[in-house]
Amino acid sequence: MNLREVSVIGIGTTPYGLLESQSLKSMAIAACGEAIRDAGIEKRQIQAFYLGNYISGVLMGQETLAPLIAVSLGLNREISSTKVEGACSSASIAFRQGYLLIASGLYDIVLVAGVEKMSTAAKEKITASLSTSIDMETEGQTGLTFPGFWAMIARRHMYEFGTTMEQIGMVAVKNHKNGAKNPRARFRNIITLEDVMTSRLICDPLRLYDCCPTSDGASAAVLCASEKAREFTERPIEIAGSAQATGFPSLSDMGQEVMLPATVIAANQAFEMAGLSRNDIDVVELHDCFSVAEIVDSEDLGFFKKGKGGRAVEQGMTQVDGKLPINPSGGLMCKGHPVGASGLGQIYEVVRQLREEHENQVKGAEIGLTHNAGGTGAVCTVHILRRRSDG
């Protein structure tokens, strides 16, 4: 079928961090309200609501968040409000549902959001709770959690390709440098490679600064059929590619421990759909839940050959002024990772880049890419956004 073109016409977000006085509901309402105002639409024009959330049931004792937020926000009760969950990809799945239902012609305007509240949960609960996306009948039973998952991938990547801990640590240094300028980021401090290499060992070989921080936050976007977008905004950002692929829920099934196969599939689908090549991408926000993940993802997305991602970081290619700026927002690592919200947080950052209003603006950015990896890469999403040529 011929898909209609779909644009992002409004974005909203809370800062990411320790938002102690805020609840799941208040954060989601703030982000959605900002997106609605940014789009210049009326609430009654929204025809469906999709919400991404990963772990509020386990961490906060609150499920069924979509109608809860829809009602508090004052959306029309005649529309559906639906929660989607795919671990850390939850918000980008919500984004994609909105995209699909507009592209297919069913709706004209859909509100999508993601939210997570982590800071008030007991600290010892969080890492274990996040590991519930690993297959608990098999690998989850071994006690594997995500620091361990990514530590094994780091070791294997170093063994196979000679990637160094210095290269891996440079991801953290770069992302902190970027995050320092981003008012939405949890960490605003510049760090050195020595800081990374001497920080506390979390899961050998990964150290404290190799790990993203759990955070609170919510992000939202208003999507609209491109043919109607100009009614609302002078600067719609088009969704040129949208893909979601299925990966393995355990490391032992993956075959090779240096890549997430679903990222490769989703990237190929998104580029094919957009009719674009890797060279066309001006800015990337990808899933750097651990520093090594940024290197793995940048290879899986096709920007660098497998095994060459570490060197690319070392050469400065992924800096804001490099050939392929990655995570100018500071990434999950520095901006923070409220898991069920992060996918739309990335969309928020890239839309601001393509509007040329970002605090770490990539000069002349016209086309951006976002990438989410849920859990062990069991759900990977890739979206390609483009400033409309008449924009």
Among 246, 278, 311, 356, binds its own copies (CB under 8 A): 246
Query: What is the x/- site pattern for its own copies, positions 17-36, by CB under 8 A?
Result: ------x-x-----------
Nearer to its own copies, 125 or 305 (CB): 125
62 binds its own copies (CB under 8 A): yes
Rounded distance between C-alpha atoms, residue 358 and residue 242, angstroms:
23
Q: Which helix (H) or strand (E) holds 220?
A: strand 217-225
Contact 197, 169 (CB under 8 A): yes
Catalytic site residue 337? Answer: yes
341 counts as binding its own copies under rule CB under 8 A:
no
Of the residues 42, 137, 234, 390, which one makes contact with its own copies according to CB under 8 A = 137
Smallest separation, CB 27 to its own copies (Å): 12
| Closest approach of its own copies to the CB of residue 243, in Å | 8
SS3 sequence of 253-266: HCCCCCCCHHHHHH
Q: And the tokens for 355?
A: 């509007």
240 near its own copies, rule: CB under 8 A: no
Backbone angles phi, psi at 50, to 5 degrees: -120, 135
Stretch near its own copies under the rule CB under 8 A, chosen from 8-16, 52-60, 173-181, 193-201: 52-60
State in angstroms the smallest separation of the CB of 21 from its own copies.
Answer: 13
Judged by CB under 8 A, which of 29, 36, 144, 379 binds its own copies?
379
Name, in order, each residue with C-beta under 8 angstroms of 63's C-beta and a sequence gap of 6 or more. Answer: 56, 57
E strand or H helix that includes residue 232: none
32 is catalytic: no
Determine if 97 is a binding residue for its own copies (CB under 8 A): yes
Single-letter amino acid code for the residue at 144: L
Phi, psi of 235 (to 5 degrees): -140, 60
Rounded to an integer, what distance in angstroms lies between the CA atom of residue 326 and that of residue 278? 13
Provide the b/e sequence for 221-252 (b: ≥16 CB within 10 Å): bbbbbbebbbebbebbbbbbbbbbbebbbbbe
Q: Taking CB under 8 A as the rule, does residue 366 contact its own copies?
A: no
Beta strand pairing call for 367-374 and 217-225: unpaired
Judged by CB under 8 A, does residue 222 bind its own copies?
no
Find the binder of its own copies among 265, 296, 326, 385 (CB under 8 A). 265
| Cβ at position 89, least distance to its own copies in Å | 9
**One-letter amino acid of 24:** L
Residue closer to its own copies, measured from CB, 16 or 49: 49
**DSSP-based three-state secondary structure for 15:** coil
Q: Find the catalytic residue in 88, 203, 211, 289.
A: 88
Does residue 60 bind its own copies (CB under 8 A)?
yes
The answer to whether 120 contacts its own copies (rule: CB under 8 A) is no
- By CB under 8 A, tell whether 122 contacts its own copies: no
Say which of 157, 176, 287, 337 is annotated catalytic.
337
Residue appearing with tokens 């999950």: 332
Terminal Cα-to-Cα distance of the chain (whole angstroms)? 27
List residues binding its own copies (CB under 8 A). Answer: 1, 3, 23, 25, 49, 54-55, 57-58, 60-64, 66-68, 70-71, 75-87, 93, 96-97, 100-101, 103-106, 132-133, 135-137, 140, 244-249, 253, 261-262, 265, 269, 374-375, 378-379
Q: Which residues are catalytic?
A: 88, 337
